[in-house]
Amino acid sequence: MTDYKTTLNLPKTAFPMKANLAQREPQMLKRWYELDLKAQLDAQGEGRKKFILHDGPPYANGEIHIGHALNKILKDIIIKSKSLSGYYVPYIPGWDCHGLPIEHQVEKKKGKAGQKIDYAQFRQACREYAGKQVKKQMEGFKRLGIIGDWDHPYLTMDFKFEADTVRSLGKIIKNGHLDKGYKPVHWCIDCHSALAEAEVEYEDRTSPAIDVRFYVSDVNDLLKRITTQNGKEGKGKVSLVIWTTTPWTLPANQAVCLNPDVDYALVQTKGVGEHGQELLILAEPMLAGIMARYECEDYEIVSQCKGRDLEGLMLKHPFYEKEVPVVLGDHVTLDTGTGAVHTAPGHGQEDYVVANRYDLEVYNPVGGNGVFLEETELFAGVHVFKANDAVLEVLKSKSTLVHLESINHSYPHCWRHKSPIIFRATPQWFISMTKKDLQKTAMSEIEKVQWIPDWGKNRISAMVSNRPDWCISRQRTWGVPITLFVHKESGELHPRTDELFEKVAKAIEEGGIDAWFDASAEDFINEDATEYEKVSDTVDVWLDSGVSHYAVIEQREELSFPADLYLEGSDQHRGWFQSSLLTSCAINQKAPYKAVLTHGFTMDEKGEKMSKSQKNAVAPQKVMNKSGADILRLWVASTDYTKEQRLSDEILKGVSDIYRRIRNTCKYLLSNLSDFDPAVDLIDKEKMLPLDRWAVAAAYRVQNEVVEAYDNYHFNHLYQKIHNFCSVEMSGFYLDITKDRQYTMQASSLARRSSQTATYHLLNAMTRWLAPILCFTADEIWQLIPGKTSDTVFTGEWYQGLSDLDENSEMNHEFWLNVIEVRDAFKKEMEKVRVSAEGVGSSLDVEADIYCNGQYFQSLEKLDDEFRFLLITSYARIHDKANKSSAAAEYSLSNDNKVWVHVHKANSEKCVRCWHHREDVGQSEAHPEICSRCESNVAGEGESRLYV
């Protein structure tokens, strides 16, 4: 028996099924850097339209986590796909390097600035620490396959960036947005410092909860405002009762706040506690509860009014000789207390907001050490937490204490000292939302930006429209200074402020922020230093990154303002999207971006938040080292990233399965091109077999969808499309069918070259579809495509060698749809025969007779004997349904059509070469074991094919 196997063109390729990505990827990366892929892309970019994706700087602290990976991979998918769409996409990665978390890391090692280590050394240590973090994170990002200008990233601690941050602030000030004010901030007495939001944690604490009388100064004024009921008149003194858990803030009281829409009642009682007969003003809906609390059952409503009726009514302070007004605020609720809120603008955020509206004094009698200032009447020198008792004593003596009890509630604590903190107003710098209509500008710019998904617009609108003035000052060490000189007495800015900003910026450009901190006022303003003071505050880090549109987009030659796209997690509506928008509006009266794309957060398989402590976090490093970056990238592409994504080992396993399918399809395609040289063997489109032209057309249609999905950032659509194309159209149909032609026909026959031509086109197109996502794998395939014209798959554009079918031709898409339907019917029938008939395994063991109506008959009949290759059977005969045999089973097709299929075991001898059962096996004396088709292929001119 001759071994005909050697006469077959079996698949051959160097492309391994086992991806070994974890080992292979670093080598590929090395190659890209050796080729200087970045430079190649830049060179290609000359003359191209730009697409500016501006990187939001991650904070330079800690290992990269899955959120970083998701964000960078999404950016990279966009960068690579936009480049294939013909854009020049310069990408400059950035890092946010100043601020508190880095200070803390350094404090842990070196101690607090100004104590164990001097400020300049501390800043140097911060700089070094941040530099290390950047390096570490950069390695992680590069490993993910992200292409960008890694040799010239932007760091917010670069001297140039620091100088440009100062310049940005200068522009903002020049445009009139700066305001100075006092604002209550979280203050830790032990730290002797303001705390940022992140440094505050909430714990339960027991506090005294007191109800306090504010006597009405002018009862007649009150009576004018309220509706007297039934001519009743009350007896005794009248007071408005407030409730508070921080008695020590009463010395700073400036007002009592009521809800304008709530009903308040004037209540007659016999007197609460020791007090004699009296009238109390309380929120009516809460009356019963309050009276029960006071253990006062005998009471009567004398009259009522709305909160708004009392606006401006003057009250006597419970222990000071002063009057305070009634003000209104929506923050007053009826869950606790009395419906009347003691308002100390120096000690509370909401009080502060109300105070601004009513022009009340933001009075803070408490020093940084937590002790009442000298001038504080009654309590000078007393520590605030000890002052509670003192206040109670005073209240009692003045008969203004209504009720006292203990309450257990959540209260802010310092995260390091674990001690309770206070709210304390301190001088701060603000960017005003209203002074120069910044809020209005921002709101109208929001309208012009494309928000993806569109609810992002609602989110940021709500936030911008509700936000208070932006407090940009911080009392920190590691940050860009607020480089102002203020008059020691008047507090006015230096008249040459604008000019000085540039002078300072120049110095910082040379020597970094230390050029400010180490300098004295004289260094910049000479003799004016006697009158002007150098501000020592730093700027909120959100301002650093927020001005990257100025410090990066406007400064780098390859970029242009505004950016086409900002892409960050949805938490950045509060953060970077907003700080960028506000600073850009303040500087340019314009949003810094044309579009903003947001992604959600990554959860574990149960949809729970990933956290290091819960151990459900999937580390990107681990995935890269185990499965490869391409698997992680494919996972990113598979999710609907606009909402929360899930990630777990099981999900990664699923992604790996899809990866293997795609990889194997590409491997098979490659393996059929081992003897193909496109320069010589490529077949003209017109000469290609119809089935091959269909395959190219199918790819053409998929490519349109793929490009559209990239354009719309719907990566999960193309994940499905590409996978579907690989398994359904290619593996399950086209490749299965053409296998016979590939293997058995003469190597250089037209029909085989035709199929190889289709394969060549498919690979060229598909590697590019994959390149933005599976960048390593796509490029690995690219290296093995015969006749490739560029070093990597990343340069150039989408493959242009595909084309659709002519819908007017006989074998148009509808024709092939019919073929597929008939083929599906056959497969079902085949399955039945396989089970029932002896010796039927492969579909080549059977013959098929297909009966169909006129329309189908006419179109399928043309295929004649080649129909068997479509069904992969030994014989396939098309008949008109008029002749249908009773053995044929009926199958329904679309459009109410039907087809009848009869499958039966093939009786002829099996050709040992092509495995078809043919009557002509044995006819040849030279080759008795094979069919005549094979004989022709082995020893003759070779068979010819017309269609399949």
Binding region for RNA (CB under 7 A) out of 29-37, 284-292, 583-591, 644-652: 644-652
Q: For the CB of residue 833, give the shortest distance to RNA in the complex, in Å.
A: 10
Spell out, one character per residue from 675 to 714, where the chain touches RNA: x when CB under 7 A holds, - when not: ---------------------------------------x
Q: Say whether residue 574 binds RNA (CB under 7 A).
A: yes
CB closer to RNA out of 645 and 874: 645
User: Which residues from 344-363 bind RNA, rule CB under 7 A?
Assistant: 348-350
Q: For the CB of residue 820, give the shortest distance to RNA in the complex, in Å.
A: 10
Nearest C-alpha neighbor of 94 from the set 505, 559, 552: 552
Return the structure tokens found at 228: 């007297």
Binding region for RNA (CB under 7 A) out of 174-182, 310-318, 376-384, 632-640: 632-640
Q: Say whether residue 671 binds RNA (CB under 7 A).
A: yes
Q: Say whether residue 605 binds RNA (CB under 7 A).
A: yes
Alpha carbon distance 28, 21 (integer Å): 10
CB closer to RNA out of 513 and 610: 610
Binding region for RNA (CB under 7 A) out of 294-302, 325-333, 376-384, 588-596: 325-333
Give kind and range of the element (H or E) at residue 49. Answer: strand 49-50
Q: Say whether residue 10 binds RNA (CB under 7 A).
A: yes
Spell out, one character per residue from 910 to 929, where the chain touches RNA: x when CB under 7 A holds, - when not: --xxxx--------------
User: Which residues from 51-90 bind RNA, rule CB under 7 A?
Assistant: none
Q: Say whether residue 320 binds RNA (CB under 7 A).
A: no
Return the structure tokens found at 676: 């193909």
Residue 386, Cβ density class (10 Å: 0-12 exposed, 13-18 middle, ≥19 buried): middle
Alpha carbon distance 657, 394 (integer Å): 75
Nearest C-alpha neighbor of 103 from the set 173, 195, 22: 195
User: Which residues from 124-143 bind RNA, rule CB under 7 A?
Assistant: none
| Pairing outcome for strands 154-155 and 94-95 | parallel
Binding region for RNA (CB under 7 A) out of 490-498, 604-612, 780-788, 790-798: 604-612
CB closer to RNA out of 87 and 733: 733
Q: For the CB of residue 142, give the shortest distance to RNA in the complex, in Å.
A: 26
Q: For the CB of residue 332, give the shortest distance to RNA in the complex, in Å.
A: 5
Alpha carbon distance 287, 281 (integer Å): 10
Note whether 484 and 499 are within 8 A (CB).
Answer: no
Return the structure tokens found at 926: 């030279």
Nearest C-alpha neighbor of 503 from the set 479, 528, 478, 471: 528
Q: For the CB of residue 458, give the shortest distance to RNA in the complex, in Å.
A: 5
Q: How far is CA 438 from CA 67, 166, 177, 432, 444, in A?
A: 32, 19, 8, 7, 10
Spell out, one character per residue from 712 to 751, where the chain touches RNA: x when CB under 7 A holds, - when not: --x-xx--x--xx--xx-xxxx-xx--x---xx-------
CB closer to RNA out of 119 and 601: 601
Q: For the CB of residue 685, give the shortest distance to RNA in the complex, in Å.
A: 24
Q: For the CB of residue 415, give the shortest distance to RNA in the complex, in Å.
A: 12
Nearest C-alpha neighbor of 549 from the set 533, 538, 535, 560: 560
Q: Say whether residue 824 binds RNA (CB under 7 A).
A: yes
Alpha carbon distance 845, 886 (integer Å): 22
Alpha carbon distance 498, 494 (integer Å): 9
Strand intervals (E) in 547-683? 563-569, 593-599, 602-603, 645-646
Q: For the CB of residue 293, give the shortest distance to RNA in the complex, in Å.
A: 14
User: Which residues from 836-855 bind RNA, rule CB under 7 A?
Assistant: 841-842
Q: For the CB of residue 459, give the shortest distance to RNA in the complex, in Å.
A: 5
Q: For the CB of residue 518, give the shortest distance to RNA in the complex, in Å.
A: 34
Q: How far is CA 414 from CA 186, 194, 199, 422, 475, in A?
A: 9, 10, 6, 10, 16
Phi (first) and psi of residue 842, to 5 degrees: -75, 155
CB closer to RNA out of 39 and 835: 835
Alpha carbon distance 658, 777 (integer Å): 13
Q: Over the Cα atoms of the chain, what is R_g?
A: 39
CB closer to RNA out of 389 and 657: 657
365 Cβ neighbours under 8 A, 6+ residues apart: 251, 252, 346, 372, 373, 375, 376, 379
Q: How far is CA 146 from CA 31, 75, 625, 629, 797, in A?
A: 14, 8, 16, 10, 19
User: Which residues from 213-272 bind RNA, rule CB under 7 A?
Assistant: 242-246, 249
Q: Say whether residue 657 binds RNA (CB under 7 A).
A: yes
Q: Say whether residue 644 binds RNA (CB under 7 A).
A: yes
Q: Say whether residue 5 binds RNA (CB under 7 A).
A: yes
Total binding residues for RNA by CB under 7 A? 96
Return the structure tokens found at 258: 């009521």
Alpha carbon distance 643, 868 (integer Å): 49
Alpha carbon distance 378, 398 (integer Å): 13
Q: For the CB of residue 932, give the shortest distance to RNA in the complex, in Å.
A: 16
Interface residue with RNA, options 419, 458, 855, 907 (CB under 7 A): 458
Alpha carbon distance 391, 764 (integer Å): 82
CB closer to RNA out of 167 and 752: 752
CB closer to RNA out of 332 and 505: 332
Q: For the CB of residue 8, give the shortest distance to RNA in the complex, in Å.
A: 6
CB closer to RNA out of 422 and 513: 422
Q: For the CB of residue 353, give the shortest distance to RNA in the complex, in Å.
A: 11
CB closer to RNA out of 517 and 915: 915
- Helix ranges (DSSP H) in 206-358: 219-225, 287-293, 349-358
Q: Which residue is associated with the tokens 């009903």? A: 263
Phi-psi region of 546 (alpha: psi -120 to 50; beta: other; left: phi over 0): alpha
CB closer to RNA out of 32 and 710: 710
- Helix ranges (DSSP H) in 526-613: 541-546, 548, 576-588
User: Which residues from 168-197 bind RNA, rule CB under 7 A?
Assistant: 197
Q: How far is CA 755 from CA 45, 300, 663, 730, 736, in A?
A: 35, 97, 20, 12, 12
Q: What per-residue string of b and e applies to 269-308 under the rule 16 or more CB within 10 Å gives b? A: beebeebeebbbbbbbebbeebbebbebeebeebbbbbbe
CB closer to RNA out of 444 and 724: 724
Q: Say whether residue 400 binds RNA (CB under 7 A).
A: no
Q: Say whether residue 206 binds RNA (CB under 7 A).
A: no
Q: Say whether residue 646 binds RNA (CB under 7 A).
A: yes
Q: For the CB of residue 116, give the shortest distance to RNA in the complex, in Å.
A: 32
Q: For the CB of residue 556, give the shortest distance to RNA in the complex, in Å.
A: 29
Interface residue with RNA, options 524, 550, 668, 875 (CB under 7 A): 668
- DSSP code of 616? -
CB closer to RNA out of 35 and 728: 728
User: Which residues from 543-572 bind RNA, rule CB under 7 A?
Assistant: 570-571
Return the structure tokens found at 102: 């880095």
Binding region for RNA (CB under 7 A) out of 262-270, 380-388, 513-521, 649-657: 649-657
What is the maximum span of the chain, computed from C-alpha positions, in angstroms? Answer: 131
CB closer to RNA out of 342 and 927: 342
- DSSP code of 715? H
Q: Say whether residue 645 binds RNA (CB under 7 A).
A: yes
Interface residue with RNA, options 402, 822, 830, 931 (CB under 7 A): 830
Q: For the CB of residue 827, give the shortest distance to RNA in the complex, in Å.
A: 4
Interface residue with RNA, options 93, 99, 101, 412 (CB under 7 A): 412
Q: For the CB of residue 76, give the shortest distance to RNA in the complex, in Å.
A: 19
